[in-house]
Every structure is written in C-alpha cells, then in structure tokens.
C-alpha cells in the first residue's frame, strides 16, 4: 500500500506540466474531454477531433484541468471565432466549433445527462430546434463596471474584459451600451456604478437600462436619456453587491420591454425575468403548447410564470390558468397583460412556486407547466406529485437538475413521453430543454 501511494504521488503532474491529448467529447460547461494515462482531462476552447498540447492547471484524484498551449492537429469540427475577445471573455464557450456541431453536441449532452443521471432510458428525444440566427440574437445583457473598465467577466475570473461590442447582442444593445459608457466617462466618471443591465423592446426598437450602484450618488437620468437617444427608460438601484435587485432610488421614462409571442402583445419590466432570445422564445412557446396539448375544459397551473410568457398563450386554449410567480414586478406585469387581453380565466398569484403548488388541492389541475431557474425544482416536484396532474411540461436550462427532478417524478408514477432541446443560446454551452410527462 505504501509503495502504491508513493508511486501515485511520484507521477502526479505539477501545475504547468505539458501533456498531449486527443479531445473526444464536450461537457455541459463547454470544455473538451480527453484522457491522459487513462485519467480524464478537461480542456476549454477545444473541439472533438482536436489533438492538443495542454498545460496542467490542476490535478485532482479523478481528473485534470488544463488549458491549450497548442492545437497540434485541428479538428474538422473547428470554426474560426468571429469575436476577437473569444477565449478572454466569459460570455461564449463554443465560437470555435461549427454551429451545426454545437447543436449536435447539445442534443447529445442533454440525452446522456437525462439517461445517466435521471435513468430516463431510452429518452424519447426529438430533433433539436436550432436558432434561425446564431448571432445578434440577445435582446438583453448585463455589463460590469470596475475601475473605468466596462464589459463582461473574464472566462476564468471576475476580472472585466473591456469591449466595444458583442456580436451576440442585437446591434441596438451594443449602441446603447457604448453610449451609456461614454456619457458616464464624460459626465460622471467617479459615480460608483458596478453593473448595467440593458434590454431592447422589439415593438418600438428602443432600449431600457437598469443601473446598479454600490452607494447613492447624484445622477441626472433625464440627461442620460437625452444623451443616449435610443434609451426610452432608465432606473437606478442601490445594490451593494454585484447582483440583481437592490433598492430603486430613481427612474425616468418607460422601463418596459414590449414584444409579441403567439400572436399576443406582451410587456415585461426589465427587472423581471424574460427570455433573451425573442425569436427562439416564439418556438419555445409553440413547443410548450404542443407538449401540453390542453383541452378546452382543462385547468392549467403555470409555475415560475413570470409576466405570462406561457400563461397567456395557454389561456387561449383551455378553461382556466393559474399563474404562480414570486416576483412582485412580474405578477403586476402579468395581471396587466391578462387584463389587456380581457382574459378573465387567468389568475396571477404571488407566491413561491413550491408554496403555491402546495396550496393546490389534489386533482385541481389537469396540466402543470414549470420553468424553474438553474437550480431546478425538486421541492416543487414533491408538491406536484400530491396534486397529481394528468400532464407535466417541464422547461429547463440545466440538464443535471432536470435529470434529478425527472427521476423523482418517474418514481412517483410519471412517464417521460416527449423531450426536445431548443437552442436559445448559440455559441454557448447553455441548453434549453422541454420535457413532457404523463401520469401512469
């Protein structure tokens, strides 16, 4: 035993050691996978089919982390990155991979995750719905500000990578971002700003901005709107740490995003959750309607409902929809959206999703739709099985937590009958999946 331990210690690689490996797969998270003497090595900015020289960053008991030193033999799957900041900026992981191959690998990762972690095998997975636009698709973004640098976080730290424009953003966002930055540089260089959120409103082709400051300070928002030009609304929040929320201390103009989905005009405040890819959002909603397939007599519960992105399209096809959402702003927006469409069969309730589901009587809902954040909805799933709906439609942006939650639902009498991935975020590792479950 002592000799074996000594041998393992002697062969352990140090930081900076060079190894060569063939990349055979991609992970959720965007890194390539290879092997060194039988041990898995994870290497960002690689593609399946690459042979690469890698510098060791860290070696653990079961795996190695590395970074590319040289691409010895490039994969035929490789593509030329279209952004000069690729590899520095943390916003993208897969610009170096042809888009068709990105779609293929997202589908494969989704399948493998649900089958391996969730035990859903074989997964009834349908063909991925790719994005029609793989660039200029983002309609909202969060920028960071520190010591005069404006941009996104680095790929490997919270250092800020300064940028002039991002090719994944709608051109209007790039224009407004640089205009806001320039105004602050000229008129308020010492203002304690740390985060700027910008979103665009497709219906009027105008932008909205939320400014987050570490402490209070004097700022003329009307002057900012006048200088920027394409900005129709702006709000200032005191948010001590780099996160959303905080206390709103000033506002000017109209801070609502307006868009259409499933033929319906919608509005949502920028501080509430909304999809960043409006084109793919239309396909996402169509998929949910197809999977839910509600009858005119059905009662539907929409958990994590937001401002009604799914609620209102569902309401046109069934008897009633109860939308449960924790955000006060989103609930207010949802009620306004429903009232504007004269949808008296829609009820918005402000509640935590699990508490809202717990308050439902058994059999009170024929269909439950849920779209939780990245952490998933295991606590919510425990309440859903008590309600015992005939169908569940689960939207997820994290295959691992989705797999965990599906395993629980399957143990409690549900079968996965349909599944599909929708590529909402080209050139990133992010995967949006929709799964339908029916009760046995």
Calculated CA dihedral for residues 309, 313, 314, 319, nearest 10 degrees: 130
Rounded distance, CA 218 to CA 192, Å? 10
Closest CA relative to residue 279, chosen from 435, 430, 434, 168: 168
Rounded distance, CA 215 to CA 278, Å? 34
Handedness of CA 313, 326, 110, 69 (dihedral sign): positive
Strand partners, 51: 22, 73
* 397 tagged catalytic: yes
Rounded distance, CA 143 to CA 177, Å? 8
Query: Exposed (0-12), middle (13-18) or buried (19+): which is 314, by Cβ within 10 Å?
Result: buried
Burial 381-420 (b: 16+ CB within 10 A, else e): bbbbbebbbebbbbbbbbbbbbbbbbbbbbeeebebebbb
Tokens of 31: 């890194």
**Which residue of the set 83, 166, 255, 397 is catalytic?**
397
Closest CA relative to residue 28, chosen from 135, 85, 112: 112
Q: Are strands 391-396 and 432-439 parallel, antiparallel or unpaired?
A: antiparallel
Hey, is 351 helix, strand or coil? coil
DSSP state at residue 229: S
**Spatial CB neighbours of 146, under 8 Å, sequence gap ≥ 6:** 160, 194
Residues labelled catalytic: 397
């Amino acid at each position: 035993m002592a000799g074996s331990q000594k041998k393992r210690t002697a062969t352990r690689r140090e930081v900076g050691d060079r190894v060569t490996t063939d990349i055979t797969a991609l992970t959720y998270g965007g890194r390539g996978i290879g092997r060194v003497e039988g041990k898995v090595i994870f290497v960002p900015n690689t593609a399946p089919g690459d042979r690469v020289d890698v510098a060791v960053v860290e070696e653990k008991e079961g795996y190695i982390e590395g970074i590319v030193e040289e691409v010895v033999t490039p994969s035929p799957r490789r593509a030329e990155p279209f952004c000069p900041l690729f590899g520095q900026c943390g916003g993208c992981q897969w610009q170096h991979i042809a888009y068709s191959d990105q779609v293929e690998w997202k589908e494969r990762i989704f399948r493998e995750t649900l089958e391996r972690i969730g035990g859903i095998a074989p997964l009834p997975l349908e063909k991925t719905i790719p994005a029609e636009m793989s660039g200029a698709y983002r309609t909202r973004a969060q920028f960071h500000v520190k010591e005069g640098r404006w941009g996104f976080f680095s790929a490997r730290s919270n250092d800020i990578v300064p940028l002039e424009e991002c090719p994944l953003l709608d051109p209007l966002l790039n224009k407004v971002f640089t205009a806001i930055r320039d105004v602050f540089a000229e008129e308020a260089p010492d203002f304690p700003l740390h985060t700027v959120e910008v979103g665009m409103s497709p219906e009027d082709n105008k932008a909205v901005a939320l400014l987050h400051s570490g402490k209070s300070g004097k700022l003329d928002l009307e002057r900012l709107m006048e200088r920027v030009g394409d900005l129709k609304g702006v709000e200032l929040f005191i948010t001590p740490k780099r996160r959303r929320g905080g206390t709103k201390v000033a506002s000017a103009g109209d801070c609502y995003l307006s868009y259409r989905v499933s033929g319906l005009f919608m509005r949502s405040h920028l501080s509430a959750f909304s999809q960043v890819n409006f084109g793919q959002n239309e396909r996402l909603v169509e998929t949910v309607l197809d999977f839910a397939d509600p009858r005119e007599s059905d009662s539907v519960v929409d958990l994590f409902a937001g401002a009604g992105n799914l609620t209102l399209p569902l309401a046109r096809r069934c008897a009633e929809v109860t939308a449960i959402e924790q955000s006060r702003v989103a609930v207010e927006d949802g009620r306004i959206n429903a009232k504007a469409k004269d949808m008296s069969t829609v009820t918005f309730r402000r509640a935590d999703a699990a508490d809202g589901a717990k308050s439902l009587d058994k059999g009170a809902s024929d269909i439950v739709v849920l779209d939780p954040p990245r952490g998933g909805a295991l606590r919510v799933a425990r309440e859903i099985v008590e309600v015992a709906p005939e169908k569940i439609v689960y939207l997820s942006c994290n295959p691992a937590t989705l797999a965990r939650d599906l395993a629980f639902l399957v143990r409690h009498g549900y079968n996965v009958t349909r599944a599909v991935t929708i590529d909402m975020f080209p050139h990133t590792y992010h995967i949006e999946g929709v799964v339908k479950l029916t009760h046995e």
